[in-house]
Amino acid sequence: MAQKQDVQPGTLALMILRTLEVLGPLHGYGVARRIEDTSRHTIKLNYGTLYPVLLKLEQQGFITAAWGQSENNRRAKFYSLTAAGRKQLAQEARQWHRTADLIAAFLAPREETP
């Protein structure tokens, strides 16, 4: 069984934006399940972590929210990516790729030059 992992600060917003980009409008429970599935269940989100980030993204104009009916006929708030959210996602993805490349350079074995 995979070890559970904490979400690094600043990464949950990126995960939410990417999830909404790929799947379209989702309610909070759907976003959480998708993130958990994508992480192969190494991340377990609780609602006290997820919903403040959703609210912040909505206040920043990166997502919108509208009430609708869930698959099991319950009232649920559905979140959608905005144009500003797409732009933010692209910017954050570029930053994370640069950071990952930098860390990979330090972790990769290489020959030392005198």
Task: pLDDT band for 45, please (50, 70, 90 cuts).
Answer: confident
Rounded to 5°, angle at Cα 42 from 10 and 20? 50
Residue 1 lies in a domain: no
Give the H/E segment covering residue 11.
helix 11-23
Residue 3 lies in a domain: no
Residue 9 confidence (pLDDT)? 67
Residue 27 lies in a domain: yes
Residue 5 lies in a domain: no
User: Containing domain of residue 67, as a range?
Assistant: 11-107
Residue 91 lies in a domain: yes
CATH of the domain at 91: 1.10.10.10
In total, the chain counts a number of residues equal to 114
95 CB-side CA count, 13 A: 9
Residue 113 lies in a domain: no
Residue 87 lies in a domain: yes
Residue 112 confidence (pLDDT)? 67
Percent with pLDDT over 70 in the chain = 90
Residue 1 confidence (pLDDT)? 45
Number of independent structural domains in the chain: 1
Residue 51 confidence (pLDDT)? 94
Residue 114 lies in a domain: no
pTM: 0.86
Q: For the segment 55-75, what is each residue's pLDDT rounded down to a tens digit?
A: 999 999 999 999 999 888 999
